[in-house]
Chain A
Amino acid sequence: MLSKKAISPCTNTMKKAFPFDMPQMLITLLSVISIAIIAFIFLFVFSKAWPVFQHNGLSYFISGGFDKQISDAFYSSADDPSLSFGMLGLILGTLLTTTFSLIIAGLMGVGASIFICEYTSGPVSQILLALVRLLASIPSVIFGLIGIVTVVPVVEKLLITIDMQIAYIPYFQMTGKNMLSAIIVLTFMIVPTVISLSADAIKAVPPVYKEIGYSFGMRHFRVVYKIILPSARSGIIAGLILAAGRGIGESIAVSMVCGGLGIIPKAGFGFINFLAPTLPLAPAIINKSEAMGSMPVEAALFSCGATLLVIGAFLSIGAGVVQKQLRKAAGYHD
């Protein structure tokens, strides 16, 4: 008893001097604040978008006509706002441009990162990686500017003929500003992210993994294919997801080259769909933001934002599921 008493007063005074664990408090507070901010953003965007969702219901997601609807909304009177919107063209535009640029950027980017990490020597690989990181930090509007003067005219000259333009006049005006140009510009925008994160993932593979491969008599490219890529898989996928997020949210650069019309792609048109103007959700917000003074337009653009948030959330959940499946395939049970 005596010894217990002798010790406890000391610890008690220590506790009284610091009644709370300050660093832990601070971290908890900051995380609560950031969660609150995210919740607030979601609530704010959805409350602003609510009139549009409420008015259209499911037809918001399965019908088109955004380009006319937005001008109707702008010119409608405040007493009788025009709230009819069909976003299928914009949603498909978003998914198609992002998916295709992600596929191309994924192949190019992972290939380039393998080349940089495995087939160039130390200083060369460092210089190349520094260049790639520089590319990743270029503001997107610069990609848009370069796209307008290079990609757009090249696509127009190489792929579009006058006959084609005449043939498709009933549907849309065919110019170099189209989905293909948007995909190309977006690809160049996100490929540095893919290269840089894949390269980090490849460089993080323990060197001894390579040695195991060599010690079995595997060739360099077999070691890359069978050992390095599988081991770097998580990091590479994380890079692709980040790139997809950037692609979906990219507005300025895509808005400059996409043509600005929310046309619904038609299965019968085949490849021609890529030569049609498009308007993904994020560029639509930029494109129509000047008309925000009108309540229905504002609600429509916030509904674009809300849809983007939902797509982003699905992407992040999907990524989690894919990672889990991969871990399961690798034999982890958790």
Chain B
Amino acid sequence: MDSMNSMDSMDSMEHAIAIKNVTCRYGSTTALQDVSLDIPKNAIYSFIGPSGCGKTTLLRSINRLNDMIPSFRIEGSILVEGKDVYAHSTSEDTAKLRRRIGMIFQQPNPLPSSILKNLLLPVKEHYKGKEKDYRSLALEKLKLSFLYEEIAGQLNQNALSLSGGQQQRLCIARALMLEPPIMLFDEPCSALDPISTFKIEEMLINLKKERSIIIVTHNMEQALRIADYTAFFYQGKIIEAGETGQIFRRPKTDLLKRYITGRF
């Protein structure tokens, strides 16, 4: 908790995201209780913890994706690039916010259309250019997600014909099309084989040079391999947060110690 306090004292503009005293409820169930956390820029922050501990709720609260759930209520504030996303926001503000935050879901979810159409969907939604103007951008993003060599000649093929790992990398490329400075990953590798997982981890390490990344993961080795910072959630609270090395090598609480060693 010490490291968190020291981060609190920094100006919130220094952080990509500042989460302050956030409490989330679904109806009468409390999913998150008074959670505060600062997400630094250009780093990978991993959220770990057992299922149902609130990590995904927090992740989806950042880009207001939980708004779709009618029983969802949130208190506290979440500042993205210094702006409170839940204060005085119109649907226009929310749309703008979401454009600056790329999100990757647990299951690879390309839409049932061609690879190129999948890639162009976000840009064509927000910019007026023609399809061929964005083709080079699409190819560039495919290179970033290590897909270019594998599927370069098949851009008009249906995206669902790709393998699971390729689909997930396509989804990352698609999210990158809007050049989001912040990216949220909700267990992106849990449905993938080790080779695809490795490729995505390598990509994440490249991406963090220019982007702030949060990744929810159940795979502690993954957190240890790629995350600069880690927060451990348990029953709707953050038990420990800080640099990944410290979290894993010198856990302060008994709870985290037991979680890391698998005696939970």
Contact = CB atoms under 8 A, between A and B. Distances in A.
Interface of A: 121-122, 206, 208-212, 214-219, 222, 226-227, 230-231, 330-333
Contact of A208 (B99, B107, B112, B175): B107
B103 interface: yes
Given A211-B65, A211-B68, A217-B99, A230 B161 contact: no
A231 B111 contact: yes
Given A208-B107, A217-B122, 4 more contacts: A214-B98, A217-B97, A231-B112, A331-B158
A3 B212 CA distance: 65
30 contacts: A206-B109, A208-B109, A209-B111, A212-B105, A214-B68, A215-B65, A215-B98, A216-B121, A216-B126, A217-B94, A217-B95, A217-B96, A217-B97, A217-B98, A217-B125, A218-B95, A218-B125, A219-B91, A226-B121, A230-B111, A230-B113, A330-B112, A331-B113, A331-B115, A331-B117, A331-B156, A331-B158, A331-B161, A332-B158, A332-B161
B102 interface: yes
B122 A330 contact: no
A330 B103 contact: no
Interface string B99-136: 10111010101011111010001100110000000000
A324 B117 CA distance: 19
A121 B68 CA distance: 11
Contacts of B99: 216-217
B95 A219 contact: yes
Interface of A, secondary structure class, is helix
B63 interface: yes
Interface residues of B, number: 34
Contacts of A218: 95, 125
B157 interface: yes
A20 to B, nearest CB: 39
Contacts of B95: 217-219
Nearest to B94: A217
Closest 9 CB pairs of A and B: A331-B158, A331-B114, A217-B99, A217-B98, A215-B103, A217-B95, A216-B122, A332-B158, A331-B157
B114 A212 contact: no
Contacts of B97: 217
Contact of A215 (B101, B112, B114): B101
Nearest to B110: A212
A234 to B, nearest CB: 9
A183 to B, nearest CB: 34
A294 B234 CA distance: 85
Interface in B147-171: 156-159, 161
B159 A331 contact: yes
B213 to A, nearest CB: 15
A211 B105 contact: yes
Contacts of A212: 105, 109, 111
B125 A216 contact: yes
Given A215-B65, A331-B156, A331-B158, A121 B70 contact: yes
B79 interface: no
Nearest to A215: B103
A22 to B, nearest CB: 38
B111 A333 contact: no
B134 to A, nearest CB: 14
B107 A333 contact: no
A299 B165 CA distance: 63
A206 B99 CA distance: 22
Given A216-B99, A230-B111, A330-B158, A222 B125 contact: yes
A331 B158 CA distance: 4
A209 B99 CA distance: 16
B39 to A, nearest CB: 18
Contacts of A122: 70
B102 A215 contact: yes
B136 to A, nearest CB: 20
Contacts of A211: 65, 68, 103, 105
Contacts of A222: 125
B31 interface: no
Nearest to A206: B109
B204 interface: no
Nearest to A234: B112
Contacts of A227: 111, 121
A304 to B, nearest CB: 41
A217 B96 CA distance: 6
